[in-house]
């Protein structure tokens, strides 16, 4: 029994043995970036793209670090006026196939019923979209949660109020290309696992949100590893993007103090952003 790995990665996006002391040191969502003659520190914060409002974490330390920075950087520039148009366009299927063509007839009828009852959407209205687009509707529904909230939306509002410049680490096209590295068959199979309730989703959601609330990056990494994610998909969705981001992060922090807010799954591990920045000679300290 497992949670859909795509859902899991979008919510956040080989585990070696870790000592208890190492776990404690990595139990923080907020990291200070300093060293290498930086005139001002910058900060790295691990988000979860959707969370129940009662579980939303925003401590004084997080708020103070955010206020201290001149710019806010997300995975993409969410303030770009073309962002919504480009995002919507990227999910349109340009192969000539319709959404139903990716499913056998019986499964498509189950999909229609599930989305109507659980999401309130007629999937026939989404017939021109790629299967991966359906994931965005599924992650908006968290079991036993009346109201959800997005870290990105919340931080965007604060940044605009404070008139901070909002920037991004990659383009919409780059992020979509990473998602498209996952085959349509894999996405369809994972959707049907959720619909057929072959995943123990409520229990897995609880584990994920508990790990996030305790700010336990090693545990988040462990849960990802246990979720039957293929190494090729981890490489495309996490490792390759992390590696590409490092030069972009360094370029930004050399000129101004930046609050980076990216999915928590990107932070920890051998090819996590924290370790990659350390390898470049920067000091990263967990902030509580």
Q: What is the pLDDT of residues 236-252, one digit of tens each?
A: 788 899 999 999 999 99
Q: Could you tell me if residue 89 is inside a domain? A: yes
Is the pLDDT score of 4 beyond 90?
Answer: no
Give the C-alpha separation, 46 to 269, whole Å: 13
Residue 132 maps to a domain = yes
CB 134 within 8 A of CB 122: no
Statement: residue 70 has pLDDT above 50: yes
Q: Is residue 244 part of a domain?
A: no
Mean pLDDT of the 179-189 span: 83
Domain span at residue 129 reads: 5-13+20-239+251-287
Per cent of the chain over pLDDT 90 is: 44
> What pLDDT is stored for residue 151 in this prediction?
92
Establish if 83 belongs to a structural domain: yes
116 closest CA partner among 108, 99, 92, 201: 108
Pure H helices in 48-167: 60-68, 83-90, 105-118, 133-138, 151-161
- Quickly state the pLDDT bin for 14 (edges 50, 70, 90): very low
Q: Which residue, 62, 30, 68, 32, is CA-closest to 46?
A: 30
Whether the pLDDT of residue 141 is over 80: the answer is no
When pLDDT is averaged across residues 150-177 and rounded to a whole number, the result is: 92
Q: What is the pLDDT of residue 225?
A: 63
Would residue 190 count as lying in a domain? yes
Domains held by the chain: number: 1
Confidence at 181, pLDDT banded by 50, 70, 90: confident
CA distance 102 to 121: 18
- Chain centroid to CA 22: how far? 24
Whether 246 maps to a domain, the answer reads no
The verdict on residue 188 lying in a domain is yes
Q: What is the CA radius of gyration of the chain?
A: 19
Domain presence at residue 200: yes
Which of 246, 288, 252, 253 is closest to 267 using CA atoms? 246
pLDDT at 255 over 70: yes
């Amino acid at each position: 029994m497992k949670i859909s790995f795509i859902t899991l990665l979008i919510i956040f996006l080989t585990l070696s043995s870790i000592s208890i002391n190492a776990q404690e040191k990595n139990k923080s969502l907020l990291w200070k970036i300093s060293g290498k003659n930086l005139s001002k520190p910058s900060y790295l914060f691990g988000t979860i793209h959707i969370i129940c409002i009662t579980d939303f974490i925003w401590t004084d330390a997080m708020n103070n670090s955010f206020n201290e920075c001149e710019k806010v950087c997300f995975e993409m520039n969410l303030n770009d006026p073309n962002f919504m148009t480009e995002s919507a366009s990227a999910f349109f299927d340009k192969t000539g196939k319709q959404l139903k063509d990716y499913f056998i007839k019986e499964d498509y009828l189950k999909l229609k019923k599930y989305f109507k009852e659980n999401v309130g959407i007629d999937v026939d209205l989404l017939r021109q979209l790629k299967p991966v687009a359906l994931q965005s509707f599924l992650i908006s529904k968290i079991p036993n949660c009346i109201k959800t909230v997005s870290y990105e939306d919340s931080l965007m509002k604060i940044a605009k109020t404070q008139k901070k410049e909002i920037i991004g680490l990659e383009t919409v096209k780059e992020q979509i290309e990473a998602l498209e590295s996952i085959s349509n068959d894999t996405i369809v199979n994972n959707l049907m696992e959720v619909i057929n309730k072959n995943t123990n989703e409520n229990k897995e959601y609880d584990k994920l949100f508990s790990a996030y609330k305790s700010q336990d990056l090693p545990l988040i990494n462990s849960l990802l590893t246990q979720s039957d994610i293929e190494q090729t998909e981890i490489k495309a969705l996490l490792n390759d993007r992390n590696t590409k981001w490092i030069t972009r992060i360094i370029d930004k922090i050399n000129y101004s103090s930046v609050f980076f807010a990216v999915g928590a799954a990107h932070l920890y591990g051998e090819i996590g952003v924290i370790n990659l920045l350390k390898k470049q000679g920067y000091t990263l300290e967990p902030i509580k």
